[in-house]
C-alpha cells in the first residue's frame, strides 16, 4: 500500500475527529490530501505524536486519530505504556510503517523485526491489529479505544507541498475549531 | 514551606487543572496528593509529558509538568520544536537536584547547568522560594504564551 492511499482512506472517514499527524512526510501528505482545521501538523518534536494525541484524548470527548510513523513510534515507545495505562476510549493510533526514515533519505528503522501491534497489545491497548488493505480500516475506526492499527506501506510516492501554515496558525486553527 | 495540599491549592487557585510528569523525590508529597485525588497522568519521559501537556492545552486545559531537573535534558528538543515553536504555555515545575554541588554525583552536572539551559531557551525561570514566584510565572504564561519554569529546591514542599 502507498502512504497516500492510506491517508486518503483516513481522510474520507474524518468528521469531527481531531487528528495529530507525525512530523515528516506524514503531515505533508495529510495536508495535501485534506487540509482541515482539526489537523494538528507536527513540524518537529519527533516521537511525540501519540503523546500530543493522548493529552487531547484525556481532556476531550472528541475522538482523536493519531497518524504515526514507525520511526516516530520507536523513538518514544514508552508512550504506548502511558496510553495503555490511561486507556482513553476515544484514541485511535494508526502507525504507517515503511521500515525507514523516509524524509531523511530512507535509512532503515528496526521495525521490520518488531511486531508493533503486539507491543501495543502488551502495553494495554484494548484493540490492536495489522491490516494489508484499507478495506480493513472500518473495523478499527469505530472500535472502543485505545485502538492500535499497524499498516505496512511502501516507501516513495508523491508527497506534495510542505505545510504552509505557521506553527501558531496550526495551533490556533485547532483551538478555535474545538 | 507549604504542604503538598497547600501547594496544590495554590496551583488550583491560579487555574491549573491538568497535571502530568515524571517523579522526583522533591515532589513526592505533591505527586502523592495528585495521585490520591486522581489528577495525575504518569508519563514515561519528560518530553512525552510535554506532548501530553500540549494536547491538553489544545482542548482548553492549563497544564502543569512536574519533573526532576535531569528530565530537562530529555525535554530540550520537545521544548524547542514543540512548546516554544507552537507557543504552548505550560508551567514547568522542576526540582533542583545538585544544588550547590551537594548531591549524588549523577545530579551535579545538570545541577550546575540547568539555569543556563533554561536561559538559553529564553524560558522565564523563577525560584519557588522567592516571593511571588508563582504569580510571576502565571503572568508570564498568560502574556508570553510559552513554557515558564518554577524551580523547587530540596525540602521546598513538605
* pLDDT of B155 strictly over 90: no
SS3 B75: helix
**B49 vs A82, A111, A160, B34, B77, CA distance in Å?**
10, 24, 32, 15, 13
What is the mean pLDDT of the segment spanning B34-50?
Answer: 97
- pLDDT band with cut points at 50, 70 and 90 for residue B1: confident
How many CB atoms are located within 10 Å of the residue A87 CB? 14
Query: A51, B61: Cβ pair inside 8 Å?
Result: no
Q: Grid coordinates in use for B52?
A: 501530553
Dist. CA B29–CA B33, nearest whole Å? 6
**Are the beta carbons of A146 and A125 closer than 8 angstroms?**
yes
A124: left (phi over 0), alpha (psi -120 to 50) or beta: left
- CB of B35 less than 8 A from some CB of A: no
Q: Which pLDDT does position B157 carry in this prediction?
A: 87
Q: Which residues of A28-37 are buried (b: 16+ CB within 10 A; e: fewer)?
A: bbbbbbeeeb
**A111 vs A18, A31, A82, A96, B110, CA distance in Å?**
27, 25, 20, 11, 33
Dist. CA B58–CA A39, nearest whole Å? 11
- Residue predicted with more confidence, B1 or A164: A164
**Are the beta carbons of A45 and B77 closer than 8 angstroms?**
yes
Give the H/E segment covering residue A24. Answer: none
Dist. CA A13–CA A164, nearest whole Å? 24
B94-119: per-residue pLDDT in tens? 999 999 988 999 999 999 999 999 99
* pLDDT of B45 strictly over 90: yes
- CB of B140 less than 8 A from some CB of A: no
Dist. CA A116–CA A128, nearest whole Å? 9
Query: A45, B82: Cβ pair inside 8 Å?
Result: yes
Terminal-residue alpha carbon distance, chain A: 32
* pLDDT of A157 strictly over 90: no
* pLDDT of A93 strictly over 90: yes
Nearest chain A alpha carbon to B22: A82
Residues of A in contact with B60 (CB under 8 A): 59, 175, 178
- pLDDT band with cut points at 50, 70 and 90 for residue B46: very high
- pLDDT band with cut points at 50, 70 and 90 for residue A158: confident
* pLDDT of A159 strictly over 90: no
Nearest chain A alpha carbon to B20: A55
Pick the closest to residue A83 from B52, B68, B112, B152 (CA basis).
B52
**Helix intervals (H) in A41-166:** 49-57, 70-75, 78-86, 116-123, 137-141
**Are the beta carbons of A58 and A95 closer than 8 angstroms?**
no
What is the mean pLDDT of the segment spanning A131-157?
Answer: 95
- pLDDT band with cut points at 50, 70 and 90 for residue A144: very high
* pLDDT of B120 strictly over 90: yes
Q: Is the dihedral of CA A48, A54, A60, A61 positive or negative?
A: positive
β-strands A107-108, A100-101 pairing: antiparallel
Query: A58, B50: Cβ pair inside 8 Å?
Result: no
Amino acid at each position: 500500500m502507498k502512504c497516500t492511499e492510506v491517508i486518503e482512506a483516513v481522510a474520507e472517514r474524518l468528521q469531527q475527529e481531531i487528528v495529530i499527524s507525525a512530523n515528516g512526510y506524514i503531515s505533508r501528505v495529510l495536508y495535501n490530501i485534506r487540509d482541515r482545521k482539526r489537523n494538528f501538523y507536527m513540524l518537529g518534536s519527533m516521537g511525540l505524536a501519540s503523546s500530543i494525541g493522548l493529552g487531547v484524548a484525556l481532556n476531550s470527548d472528541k475522538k482523536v486519530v493519531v497518524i504515526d510513523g514507525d520511526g516516530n513510534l520507536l523513538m518514544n515507545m514508552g508512550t504506548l505504556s502511558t496510553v495503555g495505562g490511561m486507556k482513553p476510549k476515544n484514541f485511535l493510533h494508526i502507525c504507517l510503517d515503511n521500515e525507514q526514515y523516509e524524509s531523511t533519505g530512507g535509512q532503515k528503522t528496526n521495525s521490520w523485526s518488531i511486531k508493533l501491534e503486539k507491543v501495543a497489545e502488551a502495553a494495554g491497548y484494548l484493540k490492536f491489529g495489522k491490516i494489508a488493505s484499507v478495506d480493513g480500516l472500518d473495523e478499527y475506526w469505530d472500535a472502543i479505544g485505545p485502538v492500535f492499527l499497524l499498516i505496512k506501506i511502501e516507501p516513495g510516492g508523491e508527497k506534495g507541498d510542505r505545510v504552509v501554515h505557521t506553527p501558531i496558525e496550526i495551533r490556533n486553527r485547532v483551538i478555535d475549531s474545538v | 514551606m507549604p504542604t503538598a495540599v497547600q501547594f496544590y491549592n495554590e496551583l488550583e487557585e491560579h487555574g491549573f487543572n491538568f497535571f502530568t510528569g515524571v517523579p522526583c523525590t522533591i515532589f513526592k508529597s505533591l505527586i502523592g496528593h495528585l495521585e490520591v485525588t486522581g489528577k495525575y497522568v504518569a508519563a514515561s519521559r519528560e518530553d512525552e509529558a510535554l506532548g501530553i501537556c500540549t494536547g491538553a492545552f489544545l482542548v482548553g486545559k492549563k497544564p502543569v509538568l512536574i519533573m526532576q531537573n535531569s528530565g530537562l535534558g530529555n525535554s530540550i528538543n520537545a521544548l524547542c520544536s514543540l512548546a516554544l515553536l507552537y507557543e504552548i504555555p505550560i508551567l514547568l515545575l522542576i526540582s533542583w537536584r545538585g544544588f550547590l554541588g551537594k548531591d549524588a554525583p549523577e545530579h551535579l552536572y545538570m545541577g550546575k547547568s540547568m539555569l543556563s539551559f533554561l536561559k538559553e531557551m529564553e524560558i522565564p525561570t523563577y525560584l519557588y522560594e522567592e516571593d511571588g514566584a508563582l504569580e510571576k510565572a502565571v503572568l508570564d504564561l498568560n502574556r508570553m504564551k510559552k513554557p515558564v519554569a518554577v524551580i523547587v529546591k530540596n525540602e521546598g514542599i513538605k
